[in-house]
Amino acid sequence: MSAAAAPVGRRERNRQTKIKTILDTAMSLVVEGGIEAMTIHAIARKLDWAVGAMYRYFPSKDALLAELQCRVIAEYRVDMMALLDKYERSHSDKPLWTLALTARHYAYYLHTREAHFRLISLALTDSKQYLPDAEGLKVMAEVHPILQRLTNVFERAQQQKAITVSDIASCTLVYWTAVQGVLSMKKLERFAPDQLNNERLLRHTLDTLFTGWGASHQNVEQAFLKAEEWLK
């Protein structure tokens, strides 16, 4: 029998409450003004704290950004896992449907929680090295369970002959990178709505990937129709 966890003292509870307050405030700044608006000084000003007090909880902006990204990725992961758990209880034999649903759910996440999506995108796709290695590894540890879940879906797709590939790990990374990349272009849609229609680009990109991996075009179309039905 494992030992019971030691009770959390008042000092630690107060510390965790203040960390939550800092992260909530940082997120509000990102929502209002983007990543650039989130600075240690801006958070301190909004909380009416001395700047020096901030460094008791986060030694640098990098540490704060990493913690905020971890929080956002963890929130998305909980939403995604709950959706797939519910869906696969009755559709475990339809892995392509699950992959289409995951992509459409992520697109919905961008639509409803754009600032959260941008923080995830910053962690995964931005060419600038925003975080030092230690903080970056912490963020990637939060992403790993998402990729592992998708790998499991691809393995079922392979076993059920929905796709015919051998390198499942590469499929997972290509799929996730493609979805992330297409959705990251959403902000450009207003400049060329016909050519850069995000929903159409997403479907076309995944149709190209899945048919290239051996799926039939008809099955991919059906997968997207079922995903849309489920999300309504």
Residue 23 pLDDT greater than 60, yes or no: yes
Please give the pLDDT value at position 39: 92
Please give the pLDDT value at position 1: 44
For residue 81, which of 100, 68, 98 has the smallest C-alpha distance? Answer: 98
Confidence of residue 195 (pLDDT cuts 50, 70, 90): confident
Residue 71 pLDDT greater than 80, yes or no: yes
C-alpha 153/C-alpha 166 separation (Å) is 14
Look at 193 and 225; give whichever has higher pLDDT: 225
Q: Which two tokens stand for residue 115?
A: 């600032």
Q: Distance between alpha carbon 7 and the CA centroid of its chain, in Å?
A: 32
At 98-109, the pLDDT tens digits run 999 999 999 998
12-16, 17-21, 28-32, 216-220: segment of lowest average pLDDT? 12-16
pTM of the model: 0.86
Taking the domains of the chain in order of start, what are their residue ranges?
Answer: 8-58, 61-231
Please give the pLDDT value at position 8: 66
Please give the pLDDT value at position 140: 86
Look at 122 and 119; give whichever has higher pLDDT: 119
Confidence of residue 130 (pLDDT cuts 50, 70, 90): low
With both helix axes pointing from N to C terminus, report the angle between 114-125 and 168-184 in degrees, rounded to the nearest 10.
130
**CATH 1.10.10 at 8-58, yes or no:** yes
CATH class of 61-231: mainly alpha
The rounded percent of the chain whose pLDDT value lies above 70 is 93
Confidence of residue 29 (pLDDT cuts 50, 70, 90): very high
* Rounded average pLDDT over 69-87: 94
Confidence of residue 126 (pLDDT cuts 50, 70, 90): low
Confidence of residue 132 (pLDDT cuts 50, 70, 90): low
Question: Any idea what DSSP says for residue 140?
Answer: H
* Rounded average pLDDT over 57-82: 92
Please give the pLDDT value at position 72: 94
Please give the pLDDT value at position 128: 52
60: left (phi over 0), alpha (psi -120 to 50) or beta: beta
C-alpha 7/C-alpha 189 separation (Å) is 51
Cβ 92 vs Cβ 153: under 8 Å? no
Residue 120 pLDDT greater than 90, yes or no: no
